Amino acid sequence: MKNPREILLARHGQVMPKLDAIREQVLRTALVTDRAGSPEQPGARVNPDIGWLGQFWRQLFWQPRRVWLGLACAWGFMALVNLGLSDSMPRSANQASAEVPTMMVWQAQQRYLEELILLTDAVAPEREPAPAPPQPHSQGPCEWMGFLDQAGTPVGYATQWTCV
Amino acid sequence: MLAVACDNSIQVQDARRGDADAWDALFRRYQLPLYAYVYEWVRQEQTTLDIIQETFINAVRHIGRLEDDGKFGSWLFSIAHQKCIQQWRQSGRQPAMLEIADADGEGPFREDDSPADLLIRREQEEAFMKLLSQLPVPQRSALILHFLEDFSLEEIAEITGAQLGTVKSRLHYAKKALRKLLQEEVE
């Protein structure tokens, strides 16, 4: 008596040579290809036939080629965005160039205003004395009254208060 | 007694490092069960051999995707299963046939129902194979995986991409039909 597994396998026993051939072929081809495509192991010998330029190329560009590809995609995207925005750039330039004369006029007016202020300060009359300190409402300003004789010699004085 | 279950973890670890001997041992171990499984799908020797070759090549290329070294066998069968479905679709067969048993619902299949318990006499072998060929493809697929490698229900579900309950149902009805046939043969 057999179990189902034995029956199933026994029915296909005659294909074993073909399966062996397939297995060996896969191991010859796929495994070798897989090794060639895999990254180098650390410390692996560098082929001296490649030369320093080849090694430089492999180490800088070939091994991190996916990184370079990603960077190229990013740069391409940025270039596209830049091109897409380029039609709006002349308008901004026109706006900026239109603002230049306005600024120049404004600066000229400001300089003129500063000159006017300086000139006004130069010709302005002497400043009036500071106002007198406040005094009680009951007393007005005091006026000195001098008395002179005919020769002009002071002979006396008096004060007069005026009410406000 | 079945001597199916074995731990390939060490060989798989060596295979990950590109050890040709480890690959050779792994492929040698699984090539005939794979052939028996694929042949039940496509029924053509050359097509079956082509699928086995593609399965081996994919295994070498994509070994990095295998998460659990202990599941190398079910992973290899899942690659072959996908190739079988692709072959089915290319040959114009309706994939709806694969969905028939999905509506069966969960059956009373027991996980400890070992394929070793089922013994078939020599005069019943032809009847067994005939019955196997008469089963719907989903049931046949689950049953062969169960017989060949004694995969767990979870592993069969992973290989075939079916729900766990669906796999239980398929195995239950397939074994029920098989036992019925064998009893009839005895009587």
**Residue B145: CB atoms within 10 Å:** 23
pLDDT at B144: 92
pLDDT at A38: 53
State the amino acid at position B131 in one-letter form. L
The stretch A19-44 carries a mean pLDDT of 70
The stretch A36-44 carries a mean pLDDT of 44
Indicate if ipTM > 0.85.
no
pLDDT class of A17 with cuts at 50, 70, 90: very high
Q: What digits encode the pLDDT tens for the residues A111-154?
A: 999 988 888 777 666 556 666 666 665 555 555 566 666 776 66
**Residue B24: CB atoms within 10 Å:** 18
Nearest CB partner across the interface for A19, out of B24, B32, B120: B32
Cα-only R_g, chain B: 17
Average pLDDT taken over every residue of chain A:
74
Q: What digits encode the pLDDT tens for the residues B122-136?
A: 777 888 888 888 888
The stretch A35-44 carries a mean pLDDT of 46
How many residues appear in chain A?
164
Q: Could you give the percent of chain A with pLDDT greater than 70?
A: 55
From B24's Cα to the closest Cα of chain A, the distance in A is 7
pLDDT: which is higher, B122 or A95: B122
pLDDT: which is higher, A41 or A26: A26
pLDDT: which is higher, A37 or B124: B124
From B97's Cα to the closest Cα of chain A, the distance in A is 23
Segments in chain B below pLDDT 70: 1-6, 93-118, 185-187
pLDDT at A70: 93
What is the bridge-based pairing of β-strands A142-148 and A154-161?
antiparallel
pLDDT at A80: 92
pLDDT class of A3 with cuts at 50, 70, 90: confident
Q: Which domains does chain B have, with CATH numbers?
A: 1-93 (1.10.1740.10), 95-187 (1.10.10.10)
Contact B36 A12 (CB under 8 A): yes
Contact B18 A31 (CB under 8 A): yes
CA A119 to chain centre: 44
- Whole-angstrom Cα distance, residue A98 to residue A42? 63
Residues in B closer than 8 angstroms to A12, CB to CB, are: 32, 35-36, 39
State the amino acid at position B6 in one-letter form. C
pLDDT at A14: 92
The stretch A8-25 carries a mean pLDDT of 92
Nearest in space to B76 (alpha carbons), one of B3, B26, B39, B144: B26
pLDDT: which is higher, A99 or B34: B34
Nearest in space to B32 (alpha carbons), one of B4, B67, B63, B69: B4
- Whole-angstrom Cα distance, residue B143 to residue B151? 10
pLDDT at A44: 38
Q: Mutation target for A interface from B6, B11, B27: give the one with most A CBs within 10 A.
A: B27
pLDDT class of A39 with cuts at 50, 70, 90: very low
Contact B52 A19 (CB under 8 A): yes
- Give the position of tokens 């005069």: B123
pLDDT at B12: 92
Contact A4 B115 (CB under 8 A): yes
Contact B148 A23 (CB under 8 A): no
